[in-house]
Amino acid sequence: MTDDWLPDLDPASGAKYTVIADALAAAIDRGTLPGGARLPPQRDLAARLGVDLTTVTRAYDAARRRGLIEARGRAGSFVRAPQRVEIADLARVDTGMNLPPELPGGLLARTIAETVGSLLLDASPLRLQYQAMGGSAEDRAAGVRFLDAMGLPAEADQLILAAGGQNALHAILSNTLLPGYAVLCCRFVYSGFRALAQRIGIRLVGLDRLDAASIAAACAADPLIRAIYLVPTNDNPTAETLDEDARRAIAATAIRYHLQVIEDDAYGPLAVAPLAPVAVHAPDHSWHIASASKIISPALRVAFVRAPNVAAAVQLAMQIHQTAVMPPPLNAAMLSRWIDDGTATRLIAAMRDEASRRQALAASLLDGLDFTAHPQGYHLWLRLPGAIAPNDLADAMRPTGLSVMPADRFSVDGAPANAIRVSLGGLADDDQLIRALRILRGHAGAAI
C-alpha cells in the first residue's frame, strides 16, 4: 500500500476534492503512484489531511471518472495499470493509414474521459442532437481560430466541418470534379486518396516532382487536368516537405492554369517551425483540410475544411450532409473546447515530442541507410538496395508489429519502386520499436 502518499492541499487551487484528484493524476504521471498501487483508505487519508471523509470520497470518485483508479470492493482503491494497447495489431491489417504514436502514461485517454464527462454535465443539450449542416457556429468559430494559428486566415462562412480528412477528400472530389477529369499529385501518393479517385473515376497523374515546371508541362499535355493534390508538410508516404518557395510557385501555377489545390495538411501543426499553407498564396483556388486525426488522435473524426469561397462551402456542406450527415457531435464539441482552452495545443505538443523522440531512435538505429524523414513525423521513406524486394521485406517485418508498406501501395502509375514506408507510431514501447528497427536494419543493411 502506498500509504505514505499525501497530496499538498493549496487552498488557492480550487475545491479540495478537485485538488486531491489533480494531485493524484500528477503522482500517477510522475510514476510516484505506479499502476496497481493500492491507495490509502479514504478515512486514513481524510484524517491525515484534516478534511471530511466526503471530500476524499468525492476526490476518489473524480479520479475514477477520469479512468485513473479503480475500486475493488473491500480490498480498496487501486491505481489502474495502463492498458497495453497493441496498435501493432491494427498495423497487420493496415491499408495505408499512418498510425500516430501512443502518448505516454495514457495522457490522451484520460484527457478524453475527463472532457467527455465535463461536456455531458456542462454543455447544451443541443450538443447531443443533429448539428447544423456544415457544423455549428461554435465549432466553425473554433475552426477559424485553429486555422488562424496555422497562419491561414478564414471566415466562418467559408469553413465546413467534415467527419475526418477522408470524408473531406471524398466530398471535395465528388462535388468539384467529374469522372474522367484528372488530378496532379506526387508519383507516390496517400493510398486513401488513390482509392477515392479510383472509386469516383478520377484519373491521377503522378509527377516525380511537384513543381511549377512539371505542373505546367502536365497541363500542356492533358487538357482534362483540373486540380492538384498535395500534402505540403511531411508527405505521406515520401516524408518530403515543400519549402516556402515551392509553395508559392505551386500556388502561382495553379492560379495561372485555373487549377484547384486540394491541400491535405494532415501533419502541418506537428512541425516545430511550420510553414504557411499553400492556400495562403492561392486562397481563391484552394481547399485546405486540417484534420485532428493525425495530430491528436484517429478517434477524433473531425476535420476543418476551408473552401475557396462561401458558395463552394455551401455546396461542400450539402455533399457532406448527404454522405456522413455530420461529424460526431461530441467529437466536434471536444475539439472545440480543446482549441479554446489550450488542451489541443498541449496534446499536439505531446505528439510532437513523442514523434521527435521516435525519429531520433530511428535515425540512430538506421544510420547509413538511404531514407527520408521529417524530424517530427510518424514515418520514414526507406529506399532499398536492388537485391531486396519491398513486398518480401514487408512480409518479413510483419511478425515484429512494425508497419511496413511497400511502395506499390502508394504508386499512382503502378510502376515498381524499391522503397517502403515505415510507420514508427504503431508499437507501444521503446523496447518493441528498437527491436523491430534493428531487425529492419538487419534486412535492409544486409544487401548494402
Domain 16-79 has CATH 1.10.10.10: yes
- Cell numbers at residue 441, please? 536494419
Looking at residue 80, its amino acid is: R
Residue 130 is predicted with a pLDDT of: 86
- Per-residue pLDDT, 367: 95
- Measured from the Cβ of residue 195, the count of other Cβ atoms closer than 10 Å reads 15
The mean pLDDT value for 253-274 works out to: 97
Calpha distance 82→205 (Å, rounded): 46
State what percent of residues in the chain have pLDDT above 90: 64
pLDDT higher than 80, residue 292: yes
Q: Is beta strand 260-264 parallel, antiparallel or unpaired with respect to 69-71?
A: unpaired
Q: What is the pLDDT of residue 90?
A: 44
Looking at residue 268, its pLDDT comes to 97
Write down the domain spans for the chain.
16-79, 106-344, 355-446
**What does the pLDDT average to over 252-269?**
98
Half-sphere exposure of 282 toward its Cβ, with a 13 Å CA cutoff? 25
Arch. (CATH architecture) of 106-344:
3-Layer(aba) Sandwich (3.40)
- Bridge partners for 416 per DSSP: none
Question: What does the pLDDT look like over 180-206, one tens digit per residue?
Answer: 999 999 999 999 999 999 999 999 999
Angle between helices 42-49 and 53-65 (to 10 degrees): 120
pLDDT in tens, 350-398: 999 999 999 999 999 999 999 999 999 999 999 998 888 999 999 999 8
Examine the pLDDT at 159 and tell me if it is beyond 80. Answer: yes
Place of cell 500517477: 28
> Residue 96 has what pLDDT?
47
* pLDDT (tens digit per residue) in 88-136: 544 444 444 688 888 888 899 899 988 988 888 877 777 778 888 889 9
Please say if the pLDDT value at position 13 is more than 90. no
DSSP state, residue 188 = B
Mean pLDDT, rounded, for 415-434: 89
pLDDT at residue 256 greater than cutoff 50: yes
CA distances from 201 to 109, 194, 324, 396 (A): 39, 11, 20, 35
- Retrieve residue 52's grid coordinates: 471530511
**Could you tell me the pLDDT band of residue 3, with boundaries at 50, 70 and 90?**
low
More confident residue, 19 or 253: 253
Collapsed DSSP state (helix, strand, coil) of residue 288: strand
Give the C-alpha separation, 115 to 11, whole Å.
24
Q: Three-class SS of residue 52?
A: coil
Within the chain, what is the greatest distance between any pair of CA atoms? 82
Q: Over 80: is that where the pLDDT of 1 sits?
A: no
- Phi, psi (5° rounding) for residue 253? -70, -40
What's the mean pLDDT when you consider all of the chain? 90
What value does the mean pLDDT take over residues 70-82? 84
Distance CA 434, CA 427 (A): 10
Mean pLDDT along residues 14-29: 84
Predicted pLDDT of residue 92: 45
- b/e sequence 262-274, b meaning 16+ C-beta within 10 Å: bbbbbbbbbbeeb
Interval 293-309: pLDDT, tens: 999 999 999 999 999 99
The one-character DSSP state at 315 is H
Greater confidence (80 vs 406) lies with: 406
**CA atoms of 273 and 150, how far apart (whole Å):** 11
Query: Which is more confident, 358 or 33?
Result: 358
Q: Per CATH, which fold does 355-446 belong to?
A: Aspartate Aminotransferase, domain 1 (3.90.1150)
Checking if the pLDDT of 87 tops 80, the result is no
Mean pLDDT of 1-6: 70
Name 79's Cβ contacts closer than 8 Å, sequence gap at least 6: 28, 33, 34, 35, 36, 37, 39, 68, 69
User: Could you count the other beta carbons within 10 Å of the beta carbon of residue 361?
Assistant: 15
Percent of the chain topping pLDDT 70: 94
Tell which wins on pLDDT, 327 or 145.
145
The answer to whether the beta carbons of residues 243 and 211 sit under 8 Å apart is: no
Q: In a 10 Å sphere around its CB, with 0-12 CB exposed, 13-18 middle and 19+ buried, how is residue 121 labelled? A: exposed
Amino acid 11: pLDDT? 64
- How far is it, in rounded angstroms, from Cα 404 to Cα 138? 40
pLDDT given for residue 410 in this prediction: 95
